Amino acid sequence: MAAFAAGGIRLLFRQFGLITEAALIIDQNQNVFPGSPTITIPCDSFTSSPDITANPGSIEFAWTDDGSGEIDFFDSFALTIDECWEDDTSSVDDELLDGTVNLSDISTAFDDSCRLLSFGFNTVQLQNLAVSDTVSNAPSSGNVSIASGSTVTISGSFFLTFF
């Protein structure tokens, strides 16, 4: 039972990490999206893999404007993730993501000094998001495979606001 609970908590932190990364991408590209509502972000590369076909995989990050011409309330984002391998060089734990994440109705709150008080999405929808742990077949070889029994596929929705 404890292993199941630990796995659930780990999965929850992965989702928060993914949404946090998405928020950073939105912030870093807020001047890019109005001119190009879709950007493609390449993922990490590897030398070879018996399990992963896209090398490097990618994340297509699409913005849907509410009509204002700038990123603001009610805007939405769609992340189409195609076998995105994330090589965390500070850790032996790496993962592969594949699926779709929809972030709807961005919400923010600022105080009188324009400091961010809260940030979030009214709906975070995961559609067949497969999360797999990966292993390196030999240290520093660049040969990567999916760890046996590690793939979890998630579908569902929730709302998320950081205060």
Q: Between the CA atoms of 72, 36, 154 and 160, what dihedral angle is there, to the nearest 10 degrees?
A: -10
The token pair at 97 is 């993501």
- Is pLDDT at 4 greater than 60 in this prediction? no
pLDDT in tens, 69-92: 888 888 999 999 999 988 877 776
The token pair at 40 is 């493609």
- Is pLDDT at 1 greater than 60 in this prediction? no
* pLDDT class of 61 with cuts at 50, 70, 90: very high
Per the structure, how many domains does the chain have?
1
Work out the mean pLDDT of the chain and round it to a whole number.
83
Q: When comparing pLDDT for 160 and 157, which is higher? A: 157
Closest C-alpha among 7, 14, 19, 27 to residue 88: 14
Positive or negative, the CA dihedral 149, 150, 153, 158 is positive
pTM: 0.82
Range of the domain at 128: 2-162
